[in-house]
Amino acid sequence: MPLFPNLESDYSFKGKTHTNLVVSEGDAPAQEWIVAKEEQTKFQYVYGPEGNQNVLIAKGKVVEAAGVEYDAERSRKMNAVKTAGVNSNKILGVNHHNLYERKRDRFSGGNQGNPVVITRSFIELPLFEHAAIATAEAYASAMKFGAAYGETGNALMPGDYVKVGTNGNIVKLDTATDSPFQSLGQVMGVEKELPPAGFLQYYMDMNIPELEEFFKNKSHAPSPGANGTDAGAYPYGYPYANKGWKGDFEKLLNPTINKGIPFLTDGYFKAKQTVTGIALNDVFDATSNADGHIENVVTSGQLTVTGDDVVVAADSRNNALFIKLKHEIDKAEVDRITVKYQFNTGTVGAPVMEARTFSGADVHIDFTNNMVVVYLEADTTYANIAIDAKLVVNPIAGVPTEWDYAGSVGAVRILLQR
């Protein structure tokens, strides 16, 4: 019978095959890594895996090669990655998801030993800018996750190349002086229109009677007590007649004071500020639109307010100040609200003013009316009353949650090119 050409049945001495070449596509190389031992817990992420939310390397951080280290879990040496250092020439790409702390012989810490490095994806990061680069760095670092930052006068623009900056975040690459090995990718777009196109309108027509009734009937500020015919014991009404959250959404009709959806598009975290020394006479003037942190002050009892000083009559009871603030009180930082005053420990004509702080028992925070209530003692003069508080100052409606941080000016979109 005829034979096929070039066909032989004896492969014993022909060598071995060599068919292995492509491991995976390069967008997220299928390489197995571990987190370098030098990485320490950066923060706790409450939405992380149950039992362990300790983040070693956060999503969006630039990572670099960290050599080869022994992994006790696998009982062999593994390639390691770590958060990239400033101007690193060994960057591999961007960390795809949070990497959590591992504990020996414990089933915990999702994604604990499985870094995924993305190298050619099109990513979006919050963008922080300030006239001082160090301040922009601080804003980006406080955000915890991956971010980009730069100077206001040298801002990131489409077409710019980027490299790793401090804390594994991204900064502009100087093509004139920096090494091309430092390049991580190229900026494709910058979004600084705040607020961006929103989706708030459907909230305008919502009506939840049960929720409104709940807020209406809830007592918020304990009364200091009645003072004869004094009707000021509940200066903002009891039960409260405001509509709770619906009033905030109705303000969307006025674009200068709209607030958006709480914690989602209202710019809540971006607008958080620590305001110190808010005096009683620091009142906002709606007519002239003059600055001021206090909307108004209502008194209850027998007391006299002059500027930021308060004199309480002798033999009086149940005295209080109801201080309504202009800007929203930060509900997550209520423990940082303090009310201070100066007390004269000297004599008439020879005052000795001593700085004091009202005790927690004499200060109440009314969240619904955005009010600080201070209860006062009889026959006492309180000088220079002032409030230190964490406030949400002029929030921006329509800010996505991933842009909602102090110092954020929007977002930058980068095409990774490793």
pLDDT at 204: 43
Closest to 24 (Cα-Cα) out of 123, 122, 119, 124: 119
In the block, tokens 């108004």 appear at 296
Q: What integer is the mean pLDDT of 382-398? A: 89
Q: How does residue 220 score in pLDDT terms, banded at 50, 70 and 90?
A: low
Contact 129, 152 (CB under 8 A): yes
Tokens representing 106? 């414990």
Domain ranges of the chain: 19-194+400-418, 201-392
Most confident of the following: 144-158, 197-211, 291-305:
144-158
Question: 3-state secondary structure string, the chain?
Answer: CCCCCCCCCCCCCCCCCCCCCCCCCCCCCCCCEEECCCCCCCEECCCCCCCCCEEEECCCCEEEEEEEEEECCCCEEEEEEEECCCCCCCEEEEECCCEECCCCCCCCCCCCCCCCEECCCEEEEEEEEECCHHHHHHHHHHCCCCCEEEEHHHCCCCCCEEEECHHHCEEECCCCCCCHHHCCEEEEEEECCCCCCCCCHHHHHCCCHHHHHHHHHCCCCCCCCCCCCCCCCCCCCCCCCCCCHHHHHHHHHCCCCCCCCCCCCCCCCCCEEEEEEEECCCECECCCCECCCEEEEEEECCEEEECCEEEECCCCCCEEEEEEECCEECHHHHHHCEEEEEEECCECCECCEEEEECCHHHEEEECCCCEEEEEECCCCEEEEEEEEEEEECCCCCCCCHHHCCCCEEEEEEEEECC
pLDDT at 210: 55
Contact 387, 104 (CB under 8 A): no
* pLDDT tens digits along 19-32: 889 999 999 999 99
Q: Residue 406 and residue 274: Cα distance in Å, rounded?
A: 12
Contact 397, 266 (CB under 8 A): yes
Q: How does residue 284 score in pLDDT terms, banded at 50, 70 and 90?
A: confident
Q: How does residue 9 score in pLDDT terms, banded at 50, 70 and 90?
A: low
Those residues whose C-beta lies under 8 Å from the C-beta of residue 206, and which sit 6 or more positions away, are: 246, 249
Question: What are the residues facing 273 on neighbouring strands?
Answer: 391
Q: Residue 53 and residue 75: Cα distance in Å, rounded?
A: 25
Q: Residue 244 and residue 210: Cα distance in Å, rounded?
A: 11
Q: What integer is the mean pLDDT of 372-400? A: 90
Those residues whose C-beta lies under 8 Å from the C-beta of residue 117, and which sit 6 or more positions away, are: 28, 29, 31, 33, 63, 81, 92, 93, 94, 95, 96
Of the given ranges (223-237, 278-292, 386-400), which has the lowest mean pLDDT?
223-237
Q: What integer is the mean pLDDT of 390-405? A: 86
Of the given ranges (82-91, 236-245, 273-282, 306-315), which has the lowest mean pLDDT?
236-245
